[in-house]
């Protein structure tokens, strides 16, 4: 494949390996399963695949606790299979992105085991953040999963873990930590990875001395200035291979966010602002406008994400009466949801995001319209649930294995029996299914090639969100129009209907929560 800037406009599909496809029937997804479904992904029409961590791991945090960055967990397969998967996807025209997790390792990683064995004051402990015995934790920090991010070792020292206790944080001031991650990048680029998704990319660096958080001072472990230098050296490595760096950056301040996207830093990063907005045209337009306005000056492409493995599934979120924009809000148990409404909106949201300029990230199962599942408390595996004292249901509800032919059985998480109705095989032959909508939309999106910038239309109609883009290749104009309001909307004259997210009224008008693509 050519060394183009493909990441600027790609449709990238997130494969949560543990729950994608189970090749050996043990209830856990694996690489063999992914390989067998590559034709499905190619037919869906995505340009790249992002694989969540598949490395050797005790799976205390679904694989985001890595014991060996250069080995595949036996539950998923082998390194040889990973290389074959990357090559086979490439033959079908899909690039592969691997997940790298630089903030922390597993407590089963050789480095951490050696640090525990070597004891207080040892050079092995300098790779982490150990602190001597004290009755109280060394500072006032609150962890990313809530609670105190410090645990004690048997010898009484504390160690820092911003996530679960099984995920000790690395000391990014140590040159060996930097070297190791640069070697890991090369390891995966050598094996054909076209990019990396950088986990928790705004963490890693910590203020010297690990001072307590104090609102009058810069945050001690979030968005530190030292990070930019780390990513500049990663960029130099990525450029050698023509690979892309994709940051997972949760940072509400758009200006600070785009600093990571300067031309010598990350190529791109997930835009979580858009995902954090409720189903409201003014809110969504504000996010689109803000995103485009802040990305343009640094020359970075916008990205659009509706879901991932950490957040409530789209059809469920949009089906909740109290839709406040969910991303920064913890999940809750038993929230009343209107799935028919959520599905209608999710279909419209798919056409909206796929028409915007930039790259789009799809999370597995979004194309099947899967809802969030409420997992019984005693079966929840996500450490976030335990860390919240059982208040937060955690993230397992969006990680349930995909239904291919019927509801998968066995399965590492319980699958609702009615999931047979969402099976990919059944949807493939139903022109009205979510899967058919995504397939058609992705094909049309490709046919517009490098469409030009967005021009807003009908800005004076508060319940309508509409814009046009003109294809550079043939000058054809592509219009996206979404109706959020109760009044049916008249489609512009002299246009051809390409695709609708739901039925038009008998008079050919656009009903509420419905989107269309038109050609002008
Ligand atoms: O998530 C990082 C992150 O910021 C999360 O704490 C996020 O705020 C939370 O999940 C929202 O509900 C990444 C991974 O995506 C996540 O799955 C991992 O658990 C985490 O890093 C630790 O590696």
To test the ligand 1 pocket, which listed residue (15, 50, 104, 144) has its Cβ within 8 A of the most ligand atoms?
144
Q: From ligand 1's centre to the CA of 73, what distance in Å?
A: 20
Close Cβ partners of 293 (under 8 Å, ≥ 6 residues apart): none
Q: Which of 248, 367, 374, 513 is catalytic?
A: 248
Protein residue with least CA distance to atom 3, ligand 1: 200
Protein residue with least CA distance to atom 11, ligand 1: 310
State how far the Cα of 101 lies from the Cα of 163, in Å rounded to an integer: 12
| Pairing outcome for strands 514-519 and 477-483 | antiparallel
CB 353 within 8 A of CB 298: no
State how far the Cα of 464 lies from the Cα of 317, in Å rounded to an integer: 21
In this structure, what are the phi and psi dihedrals at residue 317, rounded to the nearest 5 degrees?
Answer: -60, -45
Read off the pTM: 0.97
Protein residue with least CA distance to atom 9, ligand 1: 310
Protein residue with least CA distance to atom 2, ligand 1: 200
- Tens-digit pLDDT profile for residues 307-334: 999 999 999 999 987 665 554 455 778 8
State how far the Cα of 283 lies from the Cα of 465, in Å rounded to an integer: 11
CB 317 within 8 A of CB 327: no
CATH 3.20.20.80 at 6-103+175-208+218-442, yes or no: yes
Q: From ligand 1's centre to the CA of 258, what distance in Å?
A: 20
Q: How is residue 489 annotated by DSSP?
A: B
Structure confidence at residue 329 (pLDDT): 54
Q: Which residue has the tokens 């059982």?
A: 390
Enter the tokens of residue 480: 């996206």
Protein residue with least CA distance to atom 18, ligand 1: 64
Cα R_g (the chain), whole angstroms: 23
Q: Is the peptide bond before 89 cis (omega within 30 degrees of 0)?
A: no
CB 13 within 8 A of CB 442: no
Close Cβ partners of 146 (under 8 Å, ≥ 6 residues apart): 384, 387, 388, 392
Structure confidence at residue 326 (pLDDT): 54
To test the ligand 1 pocket, which listed residue (52, 57, 142, 163) has its Cβ within 8 A of the most ligand atoms?
163
- Tens-digit pLDDT profile for residues 378-437: 999 999 999 988 989 999 999 999 999 999 999 999 999 999 999 999 999 999 999 999
Enter the tokens of residue 404: 């291919």
In this structure, what are the phi and psi dihedrals at residue 216, rounded to the nearest 5 degrees?
Answer: -85, -5
Q: From ligand 1's centre to the CA of 384, what distance in Å?
A: 9
To test the ligand 1 pocket, which listed residue (199, 201, 252) has its Cβ within 8 A of the most ligand atoms?
199
Protein residue with least CA distance to atom 1, ligand 1: 200
Q: From ligand 1's centre to the CA of 204, what distance in Å?
A: 13
Residues in the chain: 520
State how far the Cα of 58 lies from the Cα of 262, in Å rounded to an integer: 36
- Ligand 1: lining residues by beta carbon, under 6 Å: 61, 64, 101, 144, 163, 199-200, 248, 250, 309-310
CATH superfamily for domain 451-519: Golgi alpha-mannosidase II (2.60.40.1180)
Q: Which residue has the tokens 């640069």?
A: 182
Segments of the chain assigned to CATH 2.60.40.1180: 451-519
Protein residue with least CA distance to atom 6, ligand 1: 144
Segments of the chain assigned to CATH 3.90.400.10: 110-160
Active site residue 99: no
Structure confidence at residue 328 (pLDDT): 46
The CATH code belonging to domain 110-160 is: 3.90.400.10
Q: Which atom of ligand 1 is nearest to the CA of 203?
A: 4
Q: Which atom of ligand 1 is nearest to the CA of 383?
A: 19
Q: Which atom of ligand 1 is nearest to the CA of 103?
A: 23
Segments of the chain assigned to CATH 3.20.20.80: 6-103+175-208+218-442
Q: From ligand 1's centre to the CA of 187, what distance in Å?
A: 24
Q: From ligand 1's centre to the CA of 311, what distance in Å?
A: 9
Which of 300, 296, 297, 303 shows the shortest CA–CA distance to 272?
Answer: 303
Q: From ligand 1's centre to the CA of 82, what distance in Å?
A: 24
pLDDT tens string, the chain, 520 residues long: the values are 345 899 999 999 999 999 999 999 999 999 999 999 999 999 999 999 999 999 999 999 999 999 999 999 999 999 999 999 999 999 999 999 999 999 999 999 999 999 999 999 999 999 999 999 999 999 999 999 989 999 999 999 999 999 999 999 999 999 999 999 999 999 999 999 999 999 999 999 999 999 999 999 999 999 999 999 999 999 999 999 999 999 999 998 999 999 999 999 999 999 999 998 999 999 999 999 999 999 999 999 999 999 999 999 999 999 987 665 554 455 778 888 999 999 999 999 999 999 999 999 999 999 999 999 999 999 999 999 999 889 899 999 999 999 999 999 999 999 999 999 999 999 999 999 999 999 999 999 999 988 999 999 999 999 999 999 999 888 999 999 999 999 999 999 999 999 999 999 999 999 999 999 999 9
Q: Which of 61, 73, 199, 367 is catalytic?
A: 199
Q: Which atom of ligand 1 is nearest to the CA of 250?
A: 4
Q: What angle do CA 159, 160, 162 make, to 5 degrees?
A: 155
CA distances, 330 to each of 191, 325, 384, 466 (Å):
37, 11, 10, 31
Q: From ligand 1's centre to the CA of 309, what distance in Å?
A: 9
Which of 248, 64, 75 shows the shortest CA–CA distance to 168?
Answer: 64
Q: Which residue has the tokens 């059985």?
A: 409
Active site residue 239: no
The ipTM value here is 0.95
**Chain centre distance of CA 237:** 23
Q: What angle do CA 307, 82, 47 make, to 5 degrees?
A: 45
Q: Which atom of ligand 1 is nearest to the CA of 200?
A: 2
Protein residue with least CA distance to atom 22, ligand 1: 64
Q: Is the dihedral of CA 99, 103, 106, 111 positive or negative?
A: positive
Q: Is 277 helix (H, G, I), strand (E, B) or coil?
A: coil
CB 295 within 8 A of CB 255: no
Question: Residue 457 forms beta bridges with which residues?
Answer: 466
Exposure letters 131-141 (e unless 16+ CB within 10 A, then b): beeeeeebbeb
């Amino acid at each position: 494949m050519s060394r183009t800037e493909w990441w600027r406009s790609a449709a990238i599909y997130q494969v949560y390996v543990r729950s994608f496809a189970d090749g050996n029937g043990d209830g856990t997804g694996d690489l063999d399963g992914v390989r067998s479904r590559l034709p499905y992904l190619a037919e869906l029409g995505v340009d790249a695949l992002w694989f969540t961590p598949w490395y050797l791991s005790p799976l205390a945090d679904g694989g985001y606790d890595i014991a060996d960055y250069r080995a595949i967990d036996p539950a998923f397969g082998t390194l040889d299979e990973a290389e074959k998967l990357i090559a086979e996807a490439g033959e079908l025209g899909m690039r592969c992105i691997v997940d790298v997790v630089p903030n922390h390792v597993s407590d089963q990683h050789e480095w951490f085991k050696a640090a525990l064995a070597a004891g207080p004051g040892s050079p092995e402990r300098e790779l982490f953040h150990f602190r001597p015995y004290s009755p109280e934790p060394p500072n006032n920090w609150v962890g990313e999963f809530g609670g105190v991010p410090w645990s004690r070792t048997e010898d009484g020292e504390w160690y820092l873990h911003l996530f679960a206790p099984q995920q000790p944080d690395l000391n990014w001031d140590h040159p060996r930590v930097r070297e190791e991650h640069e070697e890991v990048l090369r390891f995966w680029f050598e094996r054909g990875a076209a990019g990396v998704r950088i986990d928790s990319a705004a963490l890693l660096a910590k203020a010297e001395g690990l001072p307590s958080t104090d609102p009058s001072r810069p945050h001690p472990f979030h968005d530190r200035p030292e990070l930019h230098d780390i990513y500049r050296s990663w960029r130099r490595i990525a450029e050698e291979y023509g690979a892309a760096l994709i940051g997972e950056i949760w940072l509400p301040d758009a200006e600070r966010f785009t600093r990571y996207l300067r031309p010598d830093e990350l190529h791109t990063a997930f835009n979580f602002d858009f995902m954090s907005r409720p189903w409201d045209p003014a809110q969504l337009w504000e996010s689109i406008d803000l995103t485009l306005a802040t990305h343009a000056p640094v020359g970075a492409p916008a990205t659009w994400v509706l879901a991932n493995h950490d957040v409530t599934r789209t059809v469920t979120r949009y089906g909740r009466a109290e839709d406040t924009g969910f991303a920064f809000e913890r999940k809750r148990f038993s929230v009343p949801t209107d799935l028919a409404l959520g599905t209608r909106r999710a279909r419209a949201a798919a056409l909206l995001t796929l028409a915007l300029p930039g790259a789009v990230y799809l999370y597995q199962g979004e194309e099947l319209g899967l809802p969030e599942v409420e997992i019984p408390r005693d079966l929840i595996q996500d450490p976030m649930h335990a860390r919240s004292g059982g208040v937060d249901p955690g993230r397992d509800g969006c990680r349930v294995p995909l239904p291919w032919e019927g509801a998968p059985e066995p399965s590492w998480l319980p699958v609702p029996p009615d999931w047979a109705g969402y099976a990919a095989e059944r949807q493939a032959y139903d022109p009205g299914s979510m899967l058919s909508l995504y397939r058609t939309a992705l094909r049309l999106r490709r046919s517009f090639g490098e469409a030009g910038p967005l021009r807003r239309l009908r800005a004076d109609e508060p319940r309508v969100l509409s814009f046009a883009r003109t294809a550079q290749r043939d000058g054809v104009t592509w219009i996206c129009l979404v109706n959020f309001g109760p009044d049916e909307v008249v489609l512009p004259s002299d246009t051809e209907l390409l695709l609708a997210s739901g039925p038009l009224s008998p008079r050919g008008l656009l009903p509420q929560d419905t989107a269309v693509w038109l050609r002008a």
